[in-house]
């Protein structure tokens, strides 16, 4: 009898539990723990979003998995305004955050042990965790020419979590061409796209994989996913969306309808408000920018150097030693960071430092690092 995959029993323990000893050590520091590990937003949800949520609270009926036309219009308008991409309502669907989509897409595509999923060499853990749920084989490579002919799904991430690397138009064009050559669905996770910091990304729009310079208006086999968690402090709302290939989007709507995975109606109202207002996004980026500058200056006095990190929500640091040694060093200063081991073998000598802490916590972390 063939063995069955019991996800309830066989899914590995959540990786963040491995930080428990470092958390305990950092918490014992005088003044307590400064947590710069996970990257969960701490700033207030914009008033315009909270008001819209409350106004949408009288929602006794079931929400549509495809979403209200007003939300689909808001997503389309946001892509035109912020990403330079022209879409129609048939190209978009909201999701309960982006993590749900990333984790479940291999399952929805019917992938299994005979399938290969490509992910970047330094990568957000959920690409592999989603592959693990279906027993697919993961292949880590950033070079499109190395992607195997057997690949069924390709994940990109730009700006990258954890390293802040941006995929430019030339790279994206080559990646899409290779995915189409081998018949794989290619998806770029773009949830940090509003957070460019250095070089050309200080003023230039970070390109979407749906950019006309990449796909020329042909979205066949190409998707992008986005989340309002970072730009709008809406992690607690679980508000995200997917855009691209209309055929795939229609299938996603259908499977989400069948499984009862519609975004709830009050959150749809909140998303409409968030997507229509750019000012709160500029304000939040400015907050993160100030915190980033404080931490960058403080790290200059330590043995760690920052690499990459030209965009996104993290500082990617190394001192050349094993990442767990780095985690322990920061914990000795009362600061919790995440080890590169979570992000692939190429990241084993790096630590990730999040910008998602209050101004007071960031200032305290900087003081502790400067006191080394």
CA atoms within 13 A on the CB side of 172: 28
- What structural domains does the chain harbor? 15-44+280-370 (3.90.1150.10), 58-277 (3.40.640.10)
pLDDT tens-digit map of 295-308: 999 999 999 999 99
Say if residues 349 and 322 touch (Cβ distance below 8 Å). Answer: yes
Whether the CB-CB separation of 185 and 248 falls below 8 Å is answered with yes
Task: Find the helix packing angle between 323-331 and 20-27, rounded to 10°.
Answer: 30
- What's the DSSP call for residue 215? H
H or E segment and range at residue 116? strand 116-119
Whether pTM > 0.75 for this model: the answer is yes
What sections of the chain are H helices per DSSP? Answer: 7-10, 20-27, 47-55, 69-78, 97-108, 126-134, 169-182, 212-215, 229-232, 246-259, 265-275, 279-299, 323-331, 359-370
Token pair listed for 61: 């009926």
Collapsed DSSP state (helix, strand, coil) of residue 72: helix
CA distances from 362 to 13, 185, 243 (A): 30, 40, 35
Are the C-beta atoms of residues 58 and 279 closer than 8 Å to each other? no
* 34 token code pair: 């400064």
Whether residue 118 is preceded by a cis peptide bond, meaning omega within 30 degrees of 0, is: no
Work out the angle at residue 193's Cα, subtended by the Cα atoms of residues 190 and 198, and round it to the nearest 5 degrees. Answer: 130
Instruction: Supply φ then ψ for residue 49, to 5 degrees.
Output: -75, -45
Whether the Cβ atoms of residue 195 and residue 285 lie closer than 8 Å to each other: yes
> What are the distances in angstroms from CA 36 to CA 147, 326, 361?
34, 13, 9
Query: What does the alpha-carbon distance between residue 62 and residue 70 come to, in Å, rounded to a whole number?
Result: 16
Q: How far, in Å, CA of 99 to CA of 238, rounded?
A: 9
Look up residue 205 and give its two tokens: 């729009």
Low-confidence ranges of the chain (pLDDT < 50): 1-2
How far, in Å, CA of 295 to CA of 317, rounded? 11
Helix (H/G/I), strand (E/B), else coil: 242: strand
CB 194 within 8 A of CB 82: yes
């Amino acid at each position: 009898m063939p063995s069955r995959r019991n996800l309830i029993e066989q899914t590995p323990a959540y990786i963040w539990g491995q930080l428990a000893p470092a958390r305990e050590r950092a918490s014992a520091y005088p003044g307590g723990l400064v947590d710069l590990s996970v990257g969960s937003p701490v700033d207030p949800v914009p008033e315009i979003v909270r008001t819209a949520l409350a106004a949408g609270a009288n929602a006794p009926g079931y929400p549509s998995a495809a979403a209200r036309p007003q939300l689909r219009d808001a997503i389309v308008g946001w892509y035109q305004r912020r990403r330079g991409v022209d879409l129609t309502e048939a190209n978009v669907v909201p999701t309960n955050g982006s993590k749900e989509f990333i984790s479940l897409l291999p399952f929805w595509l019917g992938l299994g042990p005979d399938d290969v999923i490509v992910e970047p060499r330094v990568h957000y853990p959920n690409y592999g965790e989603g592959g693990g749920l279906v027993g697919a084989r993961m292949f880590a490579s950033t070079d499109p020419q190395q992607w195997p002919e057997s690949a069924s799904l390709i994940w990109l991430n730009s700006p990258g979590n954890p390293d802040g690397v941006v995929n430019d138009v030339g790279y994206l064009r080559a990646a899409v061409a290779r995915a189409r050559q081998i018949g794989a669905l290619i998806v770029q996770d773009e949830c940090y796209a509003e957070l460019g910091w250095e070089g050309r990304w200080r003023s230039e729009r970070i390109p979407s994989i749906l950019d006309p310079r990449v796909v020329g208006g042909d979205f066949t086999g190409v998707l992008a996913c986005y989340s309002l968690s970072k730009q709008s402090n809406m992690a607690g709302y679980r508000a995200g969306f997917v855009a691209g290939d209309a055929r795939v989007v229609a299938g996603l709507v259908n499977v989400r309808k069948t499984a009862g995975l519609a975004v709830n109606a009050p959150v749809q109202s909140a998303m409409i408000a968030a997507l229509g207002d750019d000012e709160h996004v500029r304000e939040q980026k400015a907050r993160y920018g100030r915190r980033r500058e404080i931490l960058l200056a403080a790290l200059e006095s330590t043995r760690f150097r920052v690499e990459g990190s030209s965009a996104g929500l993290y500082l990617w640091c190394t001192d050349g030693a094993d990442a767990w040694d780095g985690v322990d060093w920061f914990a000795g200063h009362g600061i919790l960071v995440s080890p590169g081991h979570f992000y692939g073998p190429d990241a084993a000598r790096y630590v990730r430092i999040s910008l998602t802490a209050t101004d007071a916590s960031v200032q305290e972390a900087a003081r502790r690092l400067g006191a080394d």
